[in-house]
Amino acid sequence: MSEAVLDRPVRKRRRGHPVMPSRMVRRFQDGHFVERSETIAGECATAIVYNGVSFSVMMTTPQHLDEFAIGFTLAEQIVQHVGEITGIEIEDVVLGVEIRLSIPQGRMDKLLERRRMVIAGTSCGMCGILSIERALRTLPVLPPSPPIRARVVQEVLAALPARQSINHETGAAHAAAFVANDGEIVLVREDVGRHNALDKLTGAMARAALEPANGFLLLTSRCSTEMVQKAAIAGFPILVAISAPTTLAVELADAAGLTLIGFARPSGFNIYTHDYRITG
């Protein structure tokens, strides 16, 4: 996935937006009200800025924001590998957080042209992408890869909740996990946004020079078109989601050579495409 590893320090100037703040609440239970402290999933507006130019604003869980920025940058194909990101600064601003990335001027020129095309187009209403052609970009075709055992998928599904610390405290966070073919959960990232969780994971993997082809992707969310696109671009051969895929997600996965699994539970799952990668 990456040709170089980002080894420059991340500069952070932050007062800090809490990841899991606590608040006194009133709860109705067993026929009466009680006052108690609840942990709540943090959320803040996060701006991604390239070479001083704002590109996008999203709502995120304020944790692992450098990895989120790297993953987002790679997923959007603004750079081709993590080594092209020459600096990251994270700073609190009045209403949220700015993540400021430095990229080569050639990449920035292409980004500015892309931004002009977005401003000049007619919106289709899909996450700021302004045409069907841009939304349904051509995906790479994944090469064949060795199969994994069905039992490995089931065991990982049972083990993942213990690794979801934010969701355990709040019940409001999605997770994206990279799992080795032998069933080891290598990395987990969480966020209130399912897309953000996956971008954080791919960012962390790029930084650690982990190859997606050596395992599979596990998502605690529904599997939409965008999730399949991000998985295929990153190079994951298998995507496992605990909820349902959409029809277009299945079509894109099939065309990209991606094994797509949905309705995944420890008790079983559905395989929608390229089932040769899963053995009994």
Tell me if the domain spanning 148-279 has CATH number 3.40.140.10: yes
Cite the active site residues.
Answer: 124
Q: Which residue has the tokens 């069905």?
A: 150
Which residue in 227, 273, 244 sits closest to 75, CA to CA?
227
In this predicted structure, the answer to whether residue 28 has a pLDDT above a threshold of 80 is no
Within this chain, domains 11-135 and 148-279 share the same CATH topology: no
CATH number of 11-135: 3.10.20.10
Q: For the chain, report the end-to-end CA distance as a whole number of angstroms.
A: 29
Query: In the predicted model, is pLDDT for residue 6 greater than 70?
Result: no
Nearest-angstrom CA–CA distance, 172 and 187? 19
Q: What is the pLDDT of residues 196-233, one digit of tens each?
A: 999 999 999 999 999 999 999 999 998 988 899 999 99
pLDDT tens digit string along 46-95?
889 999 998 888 888 889 999 999 999 999 999 999 999 999 999 988 78
CB 231 within 8 A of CB 204: no
Token pair for residue 220?
Answer: 């605690």
pTM, two decimals, is 0.78
| Cβ proximity of 153 and 192 under 8 Å | no
User: Does residue 12 contact residue 90 with C-beta atoms inside 8 Å?
Assistant: yes
Average pLDDT over residues 15-35: 73
Q: What is the CA radius of gyration of the chain?
A: 19
Q: What residue segments make up the domains of the chain, in order of their start? A: 11-135, 148-279
> For position 100, what pLDDT does the model report?
95
Cα 70 to Cα 1: distance, rounded to the nearest angstrom: 12
pLDDT tens readout for residues 124-181: 334 444 355 666 678 999 999 999 999 999 999 999 999 999 999 999 999 999 999 9
* Strand pairing category for 268-273 and 259-265: antiparallel
Find the mean pLDDT for residues 88-113: 92
